[in-house]
Amino acid sequence: METMKLKDRVALVTGGGSGLGRAIALLFAEEGAHVVVNELRLETAQQTVAALKGPGGGRAIQADVADSAQVKAMFATIERELGALDILVNNAGIAFGPGDDRGEIGRKAEAVIMELVSGQGVRSHMDITQNLSDESWRRMLAVHLDGTFFCTREALRLMSRKNRGAIVNLSSVAALTGLESVPHYSAAKGGILAFTRAVARDVASRGIRVNAICPGYIDTPMTEPISPLIKKAVLARTPLGRTGDAREVAATALFLASDDSSFFTGQWLSPNGGIFIG
């Protein structure tokens, strides 16, 4: 039997109750890791833990990654109960902030698509940025950027004891190309990429590697509300002609978390079907 790639490793996956985080937790467990599944709601994390199949088992921990005190408490629990952390996946995320009108944003995006295909040029205005609230902007940055920082800071303190570790940050193609419908999301994901590069340089001497994933359009509960027209427009620009499966992102996360990627740090990999080639 092939050796498991994450045997005897302890991994924390934030936002592991849904979509990509859940797929990553399941795959890491199959590869032998003990998986700590974090979620905003404990029951959501517990559902993933109940589905884990692997020798290492797992546990659920509730915390809002945007809250520094809750993150500290989560890591204190990990230290007390497990004594170590080998892998951190900063995955928790939101596509829209509080008060964002998804329906209206979707309608504006559809109007632009219709104008594009008409061949008459784009005449309408999205005007997302000028109508974005402080609250939405701040929550978006808090969940993605603060959350990634808070968890990374605590994880590095644990990983530094062994001078070993792997951190995988979920960015997005939105960071590479900019997504006009979600400027706050694009900014947060761009920040995660720059943070990944800086921290990778900071902790390389400790044997800790830090990399990012920039997925394209993947079928998860986050992308489920996207309208058929917008999905069609995305597929038209995707050379592989389909959306991605969460397991394809999980495979990328496994590569970056395991010793298979031992010479990778400060990099991003983009499972995206070719929608962005750079």
By CB under 6 A, tell whether 217 contacts ligand NAD: yes
Measured between alpha carbons, how far is 29 from 39 in angstroms, rounded to an integer?
A: 17
- Counting residues that bind ligand NAD (by CB under 6 A) gives 29
Contacts with ligand NAD, 94-123, as mask; x by CB under 6 A: x-----------------------------
Burial (CB < 10 A; 0-12, 13-18, 19+), residue 267, is: middle
Q: Which residues contact 92 (CB under 8 A, 6 or more apart)?
A: 14, 15, 21, 38, 39, 40, 65, 143, 147
Rounded to the nearest whole angstrom, what is the least distance from the CB of residue 126 to ligand NAD in the complex? 20
By CB under 6 A, tell whether 191 contacts ligand NAD: no
Residue 38 has φ and ψ, to the nearest 5°, of -100, 145
Query: What are 269's strand-pairing partners?
Result: 213
Report how far apart, in Å, the C-alpha atoms of 183 and of each of 68, 179, 191, 228, 239 are.
Answer: 24, 6, 12, 22, 25
Interface residue with ligand NAD, options 152, 172, 181, 196 (CB under 6 A): 172
Positive or negative torsion for Cα 23, 24, 29, 34: negative
Binding to ligand NAD (CB under 6 A) within 122-161 occurs at: 143, 147
Rounded to the nearest whole angstrom, what is the least distance from the CB of residue 89 to ligand NAD in the complex? 9
Catalytic residue among 150, 185, 195, 268: 185
Of 12-20, 81-89, 116-124, 197-205, which segment contacts ligand NAD by CB under 6 A?
12-20
Among 23, 48, 95, 37, which Cα is nearest to 252's? 23
Residue 208 has φ and ψ, to the nearest 5°, of -105, 125
Interface residue with ligand NAD, options 148, 186, 220, 261 (CB under 6 A): 220
By CB under 6 A, tell whether 20 contacts ligand NAD: yes
Coil, helix or strand for 232?
Answer: helix
**DSSP state, 3?**
P
Rounded to the nearest whole angstrom, what is the least distance from the CB of residue 113 to ligand NAD in the complex? 18
Coil, helix or strand for 10?
Answer: strand
DSSP H or E run through 174: helix 173-177
| 217 a catalytic residue | no
Of 35-43, 176-184, 200-208, 233-241, which segment contacts ligand NAD by CB under 6 A?
35-43
Find where tokens 């079928």 sit: 219
Of 2-10, 158-166, 200-208, 218-226, which segment contacts ligand NAD by CB under 6 A?
218-226
Q: Which is nearer to ligand NAD, 4 or 172 (CB)?
A: 172
Q: Which is nearer to ligand NAD, 38 or 261 (CB)?
A: 38
Interface residue with ligand NAD, options 6, 11, 12, 21 (CB under 6 A): 21
Rounded to the nearest whole angstrom, what is the least distance from the CB of residue 67 to ligand NAD in the complex? 8
Residues binding ligand NAD (CB under 6 A): 14-15, 17-21, 38-40, 44, 64-66, 91-94, 143, 147, 170, 172, 215, 217-218, 220-223
Q: Which of the residues are catalytic? A: 185
